[in-house]
Structure 1
Amino acid sequence: MVAQTSDGHVLLVKKLGGLFAIIFGCLLTAVGVALESGGTTFVGVLLLVLGAGLLVLKIVRRNERSSPP
């Protein structure tokens, strides 16, 4: 059963934003390591952390609403 939320668009943006941040983070990290560019690697790792954080926040928020009192 799918729960209806009033802020469904926000949750969708967090999920998609997190996935895109992880994908671009992986790409930038790989390019940064291959080219030995510290700045590019740092931005890639930062995007990876940001993407993972967004997905974790989304999962935690979903679990708080579905847990019984």
Structure 2
Amino acid sequence: MAYDTDDKPVLLIKKLGGVLLLICGLALMTLGYSGDSTGLIVLGLLAAAAGAVLLVLKIVRRNQGHEV
């Protein structure tokens, strides 16, 4: 169920930011792998991890107070 919150724009920004960071991170890892650049791979990994964390935090906050 979706519950109404007062800070919808913040949640939307976190969701979009998380997805964009995840996509950019995966793209950077792909470029780093094809170009044999360890720096790009690490940067892509950090960006993808940050995006995943933002998405997980959004899901956890949405489900806060509800039993799993």
Same fold (TM over 0.5): yes
Identity %: 46
TM-score by length of 2: 0.90
TM-score, normalised to structure 1, is 0.89
* Greater helix share, structure number: 1
Aligned to 2:39: 39
Q: Which runs of 5+ in 2 are unaligned?
A: none
CA RMSD of aligned residues (A): 1.3
> Number of residues paired by the alignment?
67
Partner AA of 1:60 in structure 2 = V
Cα distance per residue 1:37-56 (max 9 Å; x no partner):
11111110001100000000
1:5 aligns to what?
A: 5
Match of residue 53 from structure 1: 53
Alpha-carbon displacement from aligned partner over 1:21-67 (angstroms, at most 9, x marks no partner): 110011000000110111111110001100000000000000004x1
Q: 1:14 to 1:62 in 2, by over 3 A?
A: same
Gaps of 5+ in 1: none
Give the 3-state SS of the residue equivalent to 2:64 in structure 1.
helix
